[in-house]
Amino acid sequence: MESSSTGLLPRFPIQLAVTDLCASYSKTPLLPIFHALPARSGHQLPIVTGTLTLFAIFLLFIRQWKGSKLSNNSQAHRYPPMIDIPEEEMFTRPQEAYESALLKHGPVIGVRRKGRLEYIVDENLTKEVLANDRDFSFEHGTARILNLWFLMPLSKGKFFKNSQMMVTGGIIPRIDKIVDQIFPTFKDRAKEMIDESQLSGKGVDLFAHVHRCIAEAMLIVALGKHNVNDLNLQVTEETAHAIAVMTGIYQNASPFARAYPTLWKVVTWVRLVWEVIIFKYFRVIVPIIWKEIRGRKYQPLHTSTPNKLDEQESHDEPLVHYIARMYTNDQGRVSILSTLWVSTLVLSFIFVSVHQTAAVAVWVVFELSMRKEYIPAIREELSVVADSIDNDGIQRLSYEALRRSTTLDSFIREVFRTKGDTLSVIRATTRDVPLGEHIIPKDNLIYPLASLTHRSRRMHGEGASEFNPGQWAEGPASSTVGQGYLPFGFGRWACPGRILAVTEIKMITLALLATSTPEIEGGKYFVADPLNVTSVPPLGSLLLRPIKSKSDPVHL
């Protein structure tokens, strides 16, 4: 499945899953194999896989049976109305389908999707749901929707808190240094894309290139540049894609997965945990983490102060060292179990930082390609904020320069607001919760319909449905969350890595614009999954036309 010309993540698994409506579960986006590691075969494999599959089916059946029971049937008359949305409308026209149902029966409705009851609320109840984490839990909702519920008991309920601490303490304070470390990667990958497009005269697969670019950059951030090589990069890419599949990001594209979600989860998880997580990630990446952590002593994070820590070390250390200090004992060592947990946190970091950022980066570049009238102003700003220009004509960009690229930032924010998010932010009820005139039963999932919030005239004025980046010229920034802007969530659980994500999107966009003009082949792109535009990139082929100078006109 490796691309013979680039070795990148192939595009066709996603396209097949979207376009082939008769696809079986095997047509769900598959894991690309770049340079396959030695296969593990033998008569034990089918027995182990079959046993694990049956056990997983039993656990999921018990869990879903328990979760399907209403907690207080005496309150059933106050439950929101149950609305039947046809599957065809739900998965092909979700905005219209959900908005119409809420308009007729809202402000809160119950809908069954992929065998699961979900509650949907309109923009008037969004803040009440997202700001009240005591009754509407981010952690339980996210763990369930991403098929990661088992991590909650394993981490004693601290998985998301640990992940948040990992980013807010190990990434954000070092963002300027991180940009210095990874910008050369973005510059080089952008040049590869431009060269490929110009030499072939054809469009490039933007998601494949950006996916690899960000995978390499995050490998530098997580493990250090000395651990970046072809094999580690390929395993990082495969791992990010495998987790994307396992967490259900491509599930909407498979009729089998929609009809038999429990069986699909079991088959997918057993296959990918066995083939990728165990025999690739744990064989290639985990030994590196083990060597990095177990081979040295650390000063525990809870006893570290700016005066005690070596300033240069804390500034330059890879993320894995910061995470290790989160779990260091008083003797300066990290236990074996803690080392394995650090490996799990690195795994989660790889998935979120690689797949999610690559997907939304494609949205930004594709929209810019369709709206070329915004390119001259962004290029002009680039020439002003850039620190210097290299021999290839590409500007060197520091974090401060990227932060000052407000014209591009405004464009990014408007793309995020208008790209069509629907069920992108989730919570789970921790008790029977009164909401409006209704009661939402305990242990149920609840979503604000993001499209209503993002196009609310009350929040965004009469032109709420129009694309207008200029309204953000004076702020807020694209990484700033708010009641009317939900791409990164809301409240205390807003995405902690949003500043890094926006910074990476700016780097790839500006590196492309420095020497080329992007154009969608055929003049349009295809929305692969209208119900999950947040995580599934649009499909299209990107042409990159060379420019002779920054003053070249943009042909609209």
CA distance 246 to 257: 12
Candidates 384, 364, 386; CA nearest to 502 is 364
In the three-class reduction of DSSP (H, G, I as helix; E, B as strand; rest coil), residue 425 is classed as: coil
β partners of residue 546: 516
Q: Say which residue the tokens 């620190």 belong to.
A: 387
Copy the structure tokens of residue 469. Answer: 């980046």
CA distance 529 to 531: 5
In the three-class reduction of DSSP (H, G, I as helix; E, B as strand; rest coil), residue 72 is classed as: coil
Helix and strand numbers, DSSP H then E, in the chain? 24, 12
Residue 495 annotated as part of some ligand binding site = yes
Mapping DSSP onto H, E and C, the string for 140-175 reads HHHHHHCCCCCHHHHCCCCHHHHHHHHHHHHCHHHH
Angle formed at CA 301 by CA 498 and CA 148, multiple of 5 degrees: 50
CA distance 348 to 351: 5
CA distance 243 to 269: 9
Q: Could you tell me whether strands 445-448 and 516-520 are parallel, antiparallel, or unpaired per DSSP bridges?
A: unpaired
First-to-last C-alpha distance (Å) of the chain: 36
Q: Which residues, other chains included, contact 152 with Cβ-Cβ below 8 Å and sequence gap of 6+?
A: 139, 140, 143, 159
| Cα-trace Rg, the chain | 23
Contact between 430 and 135 (Cβ < 8 Å): yes
Fill in the DSSP letter of residue 420. Answer: -
Provide the annotated binding site.
Answer: 495
Provide the annotated binding site for heme.
Answer: 495
